[in-house]
Amino acid sequence: MWELDDLVSGRDIDNGGAAGNAEAAVRPGVCPECGGSGFILRQDGQAAVCRCYAHKRLAAAQRAARLQPAMQRMTFANFSLACYPANAQVTGGRGQTCYQLARTALAKARQCCDAVAAGRSPRGLLLMGQVGCGKTHLAAAAANDLLVRRKSVLFLVVPDFLEELRGAFSGVDELEVRRLNERAKTVDLLVLDDLGSHNFSDWTRSVLFSILNYRMNEGLTTLATTNLDFTALQELLGDRSLSRLLSLCEPCLLACDHDIRLQGLEKS
């Protein structure tokens, strides 16, 4: 099977590849590695899936999982620990430095994905920290890791999801929205990105409670990101949803002394 980083770094392959061969030059848009068949012959004579085919399958799965283009390139391998200072202790981080917290979060996210890929349903993570500290990168990396391992994933940016569910966007398809809500309950990995960055009402609390409660009862792995602390989460979500969120997700702090997205690293 192709590795995720081979696939996300091979985005030019649909266009015939930057270093296409003579056939690709004659037939622009045709994969230079398989000539468009989707299969290649390995050195041992066995047929194998070409990178272009695996790439197309992953790209379709990423779109279905609602990963935005920038997030489709986020992997565990390009989550750069070098962005996190090794000498700065973090307030509330139990004496740990930014680097130690990030290393722990990365290791836990990898372990979680390995367990889901193996057919188990481990407790997920609640990635906490200020804007720009890498939470979304880690969450998207987990989503991509499991998509390439053919697990069902849904990545919801919570404020957008709630707006969509409410039918605030014109032309919204009611059946489609109901299906989306069902998928949020049942996928192997649900990511709730940016939890808390939206207006709360009884209705939004009820929607989130329904999803969290279902996933807790079914023991399904959930990963969430938030820049709120526990007190703010409790006020916004309410006790019942917060207790389910904490049952589903182990809190995991990330911190950085600068916004790593501004360096272009989180989206690289």
Footprint on this chain of Zn ion (rule: CB under 5 A): 31, 33-34, 50, 52
**47-49/39-41 β-pairing:** antiparallel
Closer residue to Zn ion (CB): 20 or 129: 20
For the bound state, the minimum distance from the C-beta of residue 228 to Zn ion, rounded and expressed in Å, comes to: 45
Closer residue to Zn ion (CB): 21 or 206: 21
- Reference 225, options 96, 92, 134; nearest CA is 134
Give one DSSP letter per residue of 148-216, joined into a string: HTT--EEEEEHHHHHHHHTT-STT--HHHHHHHHHHHHHSSEEEEETTT-S---HHHHHHHHHHHHHHH
Closer residue to Zn ion (CB): 32 or 134: 32
For the bound state, the minimum distance from the C-beta of residue 33 to Zn ion, rounded and expressed in Å, comes to: 4
For the bound state, the minimum distance from the C-beta of residue 112 to Zn ion, rounded and expressed in Å, comes to: 32
Closer residue to Zn ion (CB): 34 or 207: 34
Contact 116, 151 (CB under 8 A): yes
Closer residue to Zn ion (CB): 23 or 229: 23
For the bound state, the minimum distance from the C-beta of residue 240 to Zn ion, rounded and expressed in Å, comes to: 50
Per DSSP, the three-state class of 268 is coil
Q: How far apart are CA 264 and CA 243, in angstroms?
A: 35
